Structure 1
Amino acid sequence: MYLGLDLGTSGLKGVLIDADQRIVAEATAPLTVSRPRDGWSEQSPADWIAAAEAVLRALPEAARAATEAIGLSGQMHGAVLLDRSDNVLRPCILWNDTRAHREAAELDADPAFRRISGNIVFPGFTAPKLLWLRRHEPALFTQVARVLLPKDYLRLWLTGEHVAEMSDASGTSWLDTGARDWSEALLAATGLDRTAMPRLVEGVAVSGRLRPELARRFGLRPGAVVAGGAGDNAAAAIGLGVVKAGQGFVSLGTSGVLFAANDRYRPDPATAVHSFCHALPGKWHQMGVILAATDALNWFARLAGSEPAALAEALGTLKAPGKTRFLPFLGGERTPLNDAAIRGAFIGLDHATDREAATRAVLEGVTFAIRDCRDALYATGSRIDRLLATGGGAKSDYWLAALATALGTPVARPAAGDYGAAFGAARLAFMAATGAGAEIATPPTIARTFEPVAALTEAFDAGHARYRAAATAIRGLT
């Protein structure tokens, strides 16, 4: 058996697969986010350990005993700060925390960061968080002996090893993404050096072995291999079989992601596209990222006093975008705006705007934000021939039809099953334990493909133009 653990923002999920890559068991444990101030987003690493313990206990005893390897995936960019005894110094500052926007702009103004990391220094990335800490919590900063990413704190608990891997490290602003190594120059700019960084491995490499006391406590196989793993989106790509140039997926989760696999390194920071290492050696990927996808629908559902799925299901067949527009910038935006201060809005409300019209506007707003990501990604020279859809929003026929039409690209929904980050992490565990290569990362069976609706292409082009105009206008008001 091969176990994948995915540390998400809202929960930790475990998936067990067998040697034929069939899912034999899964379990989840919920997590909550603390927002002590506007723009802040934190979690306690102790809660992650408690969630991991709950997931392990929930898996079948026989399957646990047969687990040969564990793979890890998880939310990126978080700053887990440890002292010399590996004690956690403060709550983890998460990926969607924007407190360090001034520090991010300062680091980004140094040409070395874009040149070496291949990316804009976004407020949610790890490096500006440490610069913020150095200035606002200086006594705490002096105690920092090691900085880990969220999933790698789970690895420390599992193995006792301080290790990161290339895909997750790419989102710190400290990695020389082309060379796949830490940059001494970028670390020094935030008051750190290589001694504060975990050892780097590839996602398919063995990063350590399960500690004997955990094997005994949870009935796991002693000495089980722990793979390097991947950041959540790279792990999802392994689960979906998106490993070659031209392959891509769109994720409609809490955030929204347009992911394209690349056979070579294609940095273009000016586009605000993320250019990261993939979980496989010698591979890279690009992503356009928006901060609110299903998060936007969930927000509106709470406002409307309904369930998100019920709102989406009530829409019926795809319609042309209406007058009402929605800008999904509930907590700032990344691609292509790179604006931590921008906030969302409904525009074009009138007496005829009802719940259905507002729901359509929310789905269209997220769709048009992803189209902006597509345009930015294509400006780098990448192309996507076909998209797989993943995440909770992918259950909506209306949303996938809108995406296919707005992007001019077929969007395929996999057949029933879990092909997400936890499954990808389990595949990486299999690769680390057996030496198998990328050939096992096969695409899933497709349940339905949504083709662009030709009769609505012009209407969606016009809707996107109105969205862009509104997004430009709102930047002057926030």
Structure 2
Amino acid sequence: MYIGLDLGTSGLKGVLINDDQTVLAEASAPLTVTRPADGWSEQAPQDWITAAEHVMGKLAAYGLSGLRGIGLSGQMHGAVLLDASDAVLRPCILWNDTRAHGEAAMLDANPQFRAISGNVVFPGFTAPKLLWVAKHEPEIFAKTAKVLLPKDYLRLWLTGEYVSDMSDAAGTSWLDTGARDWSDVLLVASRMRRDQMPRLVEGSGVSGQLRPQLAARFGAGAGVIVAGGGGDNAASGIGVGVVKTGQAFVSLGTSGVLFAANDGYQPDAASAVHTFCHALPDTWHQMGVILAASDALNWFARLTGVQAKDLTADLGTLKAPGKTLFLPYLGGERTPLNDASIRGAFIGLEHATDRAAATRAVLEGVTFAIRDCRDALAATGTQIQSLLAVGGGSRSDYWLQAIATALDMPVKLPVSGDYGGAFGAARLGLMAATGAGAEIATPPQIAREIDPISAQTADFDATHARYREAASRISGLT
């Protein structure tokens, strides 16, 4: 048996699978985010441990005497600062925290960062956060002995080892993404040292073993392997079998991601496309990332006092976009704008704009942001031949029909079941424990395929052009 633990922003999920990759049990625990200032987003790492104890306890009820491996997946870019005794020095600064936009711009102005890391230095990445801490919390910076990413703090609890994997490390702005190693040049340029970094392994490699006291506590035997694991999107790529050039998935979670696998390393930092290591050796991936996908719909649901599922339940068949536009930049944007200050807007509101029309505009706004990501990936030479949909937003057929039409590409839906980060992490645990390779990362069975509505493609093209013009105007105001 194998466990996958996925540390998300809103909760921690665990799945238990067998050698045939059948899901035997699932468990989850909620998490909360604190926002002590505008643009800030933090969590207490101890809450992750509490959540992991709950999830592991629930999975242990199934019986873990046959447990052989554990894989980890998690939210990327977070900064967990530890002192020499492994005490947490401050709350973790999360991926969607934009306080370090000035420090990010300063690092990005150094051409070595894009050249070596293959990426823009975004405000949400880890390196600028440490510079922010150095400037605003110097006493904490001085005590920092180790910097860990969120899932790797769970690993420290599980194994006692300071380890990260290539895919997660690629989102720090400290990794030589082509060489798959920490860059001393980038570390020194951001006032860090290699000895403050965790050891690196591939996602399917061995990072350590489960501590004996935890094994005993949860009813597992000795020698349980803990895999390197992966950043949340790389692990999701393993979960849905997106591991080869031409394969892609769109994730409609808190954030939105268009993820495409690549057999080679082909960065284009100027496009604001993320080029990261995949969770398998000698593979990479590219992502267009937007900061608010289902988060935008949930925001609108709170504004209207109606649950998100009820907002989308009665939309009917896909309609051509109306006059109302929604720009989903609630907390800045990554691809393709790279603008931490930009904020969202409704444009073209009129008397005829009712709740359904505004809901459609929100879904369309996120859809057009995903199309921007597709266009940015295409500009780097990445072509998508097959597209899967995952995440909570994929439960809306209306939304998926809009995406299919805006991208002019069928969207495939897996059969019922969760093939996301937790399942991918469990697969990585299986690989590490058994020596299996990418051959086990097969795509799921497809339940159905949502085709574009060709009669509306021109309407979506024209509205996307209006959307881009509006985004340019809004960006110019910040």
Scaled by the length of structure 2, what TM-score is found?
0.99
Q: Determine the structure 2 residue equivalent to 1:257.
A: 257
Q: Distance in 1 between matches of 2:223 and 2:62?
A: 17
Contact 1:414 1:448 in 2 (8 A): yes
Deviations 1:34-86 (A, max 9, x none): 10000000000000000000001111434322211100000000000001111
Match of 1:13 in 2: 13
Q: CA deviation at 1:221?
A: 2.4
The Cα shift of 1:304 comes to: 1.1
1:431 & 1:281 partners in 2: Cα distance? 12
Between the aligned partners of 1:181 and 1:437, the Cα distance in structure 2 is 21
- Alignment correspondent of 2:119: 119
CA drift at 1:174: 0.1
Partner residue, 2:453:
453
Q: What is the letter of the counterpart of residue 477 of structure 2?
A: L
Q: Deviations over 1:303-326 (max 9, x none)?
A: 111111111121110110000000
Q: What residue ranges of structure 2 are gaps of 5+ in the alignment?
A: none
2:202 aligned residue: 202
Distance 1:317 1:416 in 2: 22
What is the SS of the residue equivalent to 2:382?
coil
1:332 aligned to 2:353?
no
Give a deviation string over 1:1-27, Cα, whole Å, max 9, x none.
Answer: 100000000000000000000000000
Q: Deviations over 1:272-309 (max 9, x none)?
A: 00000000000000000000000000000111111111
Counterpart of 1:215?
Answer: 215
- Residue type of the alignment partner of 1:125: F
Distance 1:221 1:11 in 2: 27
Aligned to 1:71: 71
The question of whether the paired residues in 2 share the 8 Å contact of 1:61 and 1:219 is answered with: no
Maintained 8 Å contact 1:246/1:262: yes
SS of the residue 2:64 aligns to: helix
Post-superposition offset of 1:220: 2.1
Superposition pairs of residues 239-318 of structure 1, within 5 angstroms: 239-318=239-318
**In the aligned structure 1, how far is the partner of 2:302 from the partner of 2:243?**
37
* 2:108 alignment counterpart: 108
* TM-score between the two structures when normalised by the length of structure 1: 0.99
Contact 2:60/2:219 (8 A) holds in 1 = no
| SS of residue matched to 1:65 | coil
* Alpha-carbon separation, structure 2, partners of 1:101 and 1:33: 20
Measure, in 1, the Cα distance between the counterparts of 2:128 and 2:410: 38
Structure 1 position 222, deviation (Å): 2.2
Report if aligned partners of 2:25, 2:62 keep a CA contact under 8 Å in 1: no
Structure 1 contact 81–90 (Cα < 8 Å) conserved:
yes
Distance 2:473 2:334 in 1: 17
Instruction: Map residues 126-275 of structure 1 onto 2, 5 A cutoff.
Output: 126-275=126-275
467-476 or 419-428: bigger deviation: 467-476
Match of 1:67, SS state, is coil
Separation in 2, partners of 1:475, 1:205: 43
What CA RMSD, in Å, does the superposition of the two structures yield over aligned residues? 0.7
Shift of 1:405: 0.5
Q: Is the 8 A contact 2:170 2:276 kept in 1?
A: yes
Amino acid at match of 1:475: S
Q: What are the within-5 Å matches in structure 2 for residues 364-379 of structure 1? A: 364-379=364-379
Whichever residue aligns with residue 199 of structure 1, its letter is R
User: Matched residues in 2 for 1:221 and 1:419: separation?
Assistant: 27
State the distance in 1 between where 2:310 and 2:241 align: 31
How far off is 1:448 after superposition?
1.3
CA distance in 1, matches of 2:109, 2:281: 31
What do the CA deviations read for 1:83-136 (whole angstroms, capped 9, x no partner)? 111111000000000000000000000000000000000000000000111111
Please say if residues 63 and 219 of structure 2, whose CA atoms lie closer than 8 Å, have aligned partners that are also in contact: no
Unaligned runs of 5+ in 1: none
Find the residue that maps to 2:346 and give its secondary structure: strand
The C-alpha deviation readout for 1:331-374, integer Å capped at 9, x for no partner, is 00000000000000000000000000000000000000000000
Give me the whole-angstrom Cα distance separating, in 1, the residues matched to 2:190 and 2:84. 19
Distance across 2 between alignment mates of 1:137 and 1:328:
32
Deviates more, 1:186-195 or 1:18-27: 186-195
Distance 1:408 1:278 in 2: 27
Paired residue for 1:380? Answer: 380
Number of aligned residue pairs: 478
Contact 1:42–1:92 (8 Å) recurs in 2:
yes
Cα distance in 2 between the residues matched to 1:235 and 1:476: 36
How far apart in 1 are the matches of 2:366 and 2:386?
A: 19
Q: 1:62 to 1:354 in 2, by over 3 A?
A: closer
Distance 1:4 1:118 in 2: 29
| Matched residue SS, 2:297 | helix
Partner of 1:31: 31
Q: How far apart, in 2, do the equivalents of 1:439 and 1:155 lie?
A: 26
Q: How does 1:432-447 map to 2 (within 5 A)?
A: 432-447=432-447
Q: Is this contact kept in 2: 1:25–1:60, CA < 8 A? A: no
Matching residue of 1:419: 419
1:141 and 1:60 map into 2 onto residues whose CA distance is 39
Question: SS of the counterpart of 2:223?
Answer: coil
- Aligned residues of 2:101 and 2:123 also touching (Cα < 8 A): yes
Q: CA deviation at 1:475?
A: 1.4
Report the equivalent of 2:467.
467
Asked whether the equivalents of residues 3 and 16 of structure 1 are also in contact (C-alpha less than 8 Å), the reply is yes
